[in-house]
Amino acid sequence: MTFNINEFVNELHKKFEQKYDPTWIMPSEITTCLRKSFYIRKKGKNVIGESAVYGIAIHNTVQDIAKKFDCEIEKEVNGKIGDIEIRGRADLVCDDSVIEIKTTTVHDQRHYFQLAIYAKLLNLNKAYMLYIDRDTANITFFQIDISFVLPFAIERVKTFTNALKNNKLPPKEYSPLCKYCIYKTYCDNDTL
């Protein structure tokens, strides 16, 4: 096959302008502001910023080490919670445990929701958060209580799904990060 730069660039455009399938959601969509996830689906593109590149590099390093321990990497997760179809990829599955990797200094409890959903759909008993600070390489690793977190995660899944189905904005979720959000103007004006 001969390399065709035009086809290559067209494939890149398709990937970065890809719209989400409205019939299912990803657990990662409930780990951030639901409005932001809503806007990403309705208006946005897949944007890769500098932070994401660092995160991908750290994920790859962790996953290379996890392979030595026979962990499954980026395990496809598909299933239903109630009548809501969920699709995603668990970062690591090691024996009876699922591990979610986050490369940030912010330990947001919403991150636990993604992990609890994966544990439920994979029917696993243990779920661990692995936070790695991109700036300092500080590692924080701990187990979450799936039975405690899961009801909150399911409620968030329902809220997000209903917002998408009804084309109605989810409730605002105020955060110091709002001022950096690319959808701030829409959100401030409650614009669809």
Q: What's the confidence (pLDDT) of residue 41? A: 87
Q: Whose CA is closest to 120, among 161, 157, 77?
A: 77
Q: Whose CA is closest to 30, among 94, 124, 120, 92?
A: 120
Q: What's the confidence (pLDDT) of residue 49? A: 65
Q: What's the confidence (pLDDT) of residue 135? A: 86
Q: What's the confidence (pLDDT) of residue 120? A: 97
Q: What's the confidence (pLDDT) of residue 7? A: 86
pTM: 0.86
For a pLDDT cut of 90, what percent of the chain falls above it? Answer: 67
Is 13 a residue whose pLDDT tops 80? no
Convert the pLDDT of each residue in 138-189 to its tens digit.
999 999 999 999 999 999 999 999 999 999 999 999 988 899 898 999 999 9
